[in-house]
Amino acid sequence: MGVTEARAQFDEGQGALIASGDWHAEAAAALPALPDQPARILDGADITQLDTNGAWMLLAAARWQAGESLPELRAFQPQHLAMLQLVARHSAAATALPEPPRAGVLELTGRGALAMGMHVLGLVDFIGRLSIELAVLMGRPGQWRWREFGAQLSAVFVGAIPIVFGMLFLLGVVFAYLLGSQAQQYGANIFVVDGLLLAILREISPVIVAVLVAGRSGAAITAQIGTMKITEEIDAITTLGLSPLVVLVIPRVLAVLIALPLLVFIGDIAGILGGMLITQVQLDITYAMFMDRLADVLNLKTLMVGLGKAPAFAIFIALIACRMGLSVTRDARSVGEHTTSTVVQSLVAIIVLNAIFAVMFVRLDI
């Protein structure tokens, strides 16, 4: 098949557009500029090939508008004539539409703020509905989904142990090192243990573990429930007379609620181990001295402040993840958007809650 470019020239005298060559989408893209006046005659004697895209372009080159009568079609081969008439019949739909207006910065900001407000409202509504289901469930312990709960606990807790341990260990190393390099200047080496304990147990471990769980399990929960929504599994659950909240949401919320404090505890240990390792190398504090000091300064209050924040973080992460999963609409893009939204909302919730806790603990002198 020899590819010859589509050619067209306008005969002023006859008002005729004389076309030749192969008319398909690619070949007809490189046409020279033609006069902007409708052709009265369309000559197709030398057209070697014509497909639907080519036919549409030929009509466009003749400045033909859908709805008008066709120009006189001269010397076309029968199959080309049929193609041209077919395309002309369907051309009414192919008129140029104006581009939808693009939203400005102000509009986008406004929409973003509205969306945030809607998320808060939606979460409150979700908590309400979940509470009703929980109240009903209390009376019927037989409907608890223990198996689902076990599977979720294993996914959220057991699967996260290595990464939580590794991250907090490294953070302990970094924090003790920075603290040590400052304390060294004042000969206050042993107080590094105090600072490390306070920082890891009260702030670093709960917040970092919550962030890890939000990114890991929160995203997974939204993606899973969202995909179930798309494949109509949620509808199937409802049709079987079960509540998606009981079957899916409550086991996940409980699993995260139990897993997060445990993970924070593991993170505490990993952070202290990391700090212990680095103080021995950097400040010559032996493991025995470290443990001795640890026993002196560690009190239950410091530990419980950190562990006590974890359930609050957990509830928010799990509720946001489940709600976003259930509000996925019916396409794949929506799963991605909602998963992103889960992580963002969870991180915001963690930071805000942590700030509230900090102020609260100071006021209460804890």
Partner 1 sequence: MTGPVIDVRDVSITLGGHRIHRGLNLSVARGEMVALIGGSGTGKSVLLREIIGLLKPQAGRIELFGQSVPDSTPEQMNALRRRLGVLFQDGALFSSLSVEDNVATPLFEHTRLPHAMCRQLARLKLDMAGLHPDAAKKRPSELSGGMRKRVALARALALDPELLFLDEPTSGLDPISARAFDVLIRLLADSLGLTVFLVTHDLDTLFSIVDRVIVLSEGRVLGSGTVAELKRIDDPWLRDYFAARAPEGETAHGN
Binding site for partner 1 (CB under 8 A): 1, 24-26, 29-30, 51-54, 56, 79, 82-83, 86-87, 90-97, 329-333
What are the tokens at 30? Answer: 């490189």
Q: Which is nearer to partner 1, 23 or 169 (CB)?
A: 23
Least Å from the CB of residue 177 to partner 1: 46
Q: Using an 8 Å Cβ cutoff, are 172 and 274 in contact?
A: yes
Q: Which is nearer to partner 1, 20 or 53 (CB)?
A: 53
Number of Cβ atoms within 10 Å of the Cβ of 125: 11
Q: Which is nearer to partner 1, 189 or 334 (CB)?
A: 334
Residues 217, 218, 223: CA angle, nearest 5 degrees: 95
Q: Which is nearer to partner 1, 90 or 129 (CB)?
A: 90
Q: Using an 8 Å Cβ cutoff, are 184 and 287 in contact?
A: no
The Cα–Cα gap between 314 and 316 comes to: 5
The Cα–Cα gap between 292 and 295 comes to: 5
Least Å from the CB of residue 54 to partner 1: 8
- Between the two ends of the chain, the Cα-to-Cα distance in Å is 85
Q: Which is nearer to partner 1, 203 or 233 (CB)?
A: 233
| Residue-wise DSSP of 106-172 | HHHHHHHHHHHHHHHHHHHHHHHHHHHHHHHHHH-GGG--HHHHHHHHHHHTGGGHHHHHHHHHHHH
Q: Using an 8 Å Cβ cutoff, are 21 and 4 in contact?
A: yes
Burial of 144 (0-12, 13-18, 19+ CB in 10 A): middle
The Cα–Cα gap between 296 and 204 comes to: 21
Return the bridge partners of 11, or none.
16
Q: Which is nearer to partner 1, 1 or 362 (CB)?
A: 1
Least Å from the CB of residue 331 to partner 1: 4
Least Å from the CB of residue 233 to partner 1: 16
Least Å from the CB of residue 142 to partner 1: 38
Q: Which is nearer to partner 1, 53 or 189 (CB)?
A: 53
Least Å from the CB of residue 56 to partner 1: 6
Least Å from the CB of residue 103 to partner 1: 16
Least Å from the CB of residue 85 to partner 1: 9
Q: Which is nearer to partner 1, 54 or 261 (CB)?
A: 54
The Cα–Cα gap between 22 and 16 comes to: 19
Strand order in the sheet with 72-74: 7-11, 16-23, 41-50, 72-74
Least Å from the CB of residue 52 to partner 1: 5
Least Å from the CB of residue 322 to partner 1: 22
Residue 218, H or E segment:
none
| Residue-wise DSSP of 263-309 | HHHHHHHHHHHHHHHHHHHHH---HHHHHHHHHHH--HHHHHHHHHH
Q: Which is nearer to partner 1, 292 or 331 (CB)?
A: 331
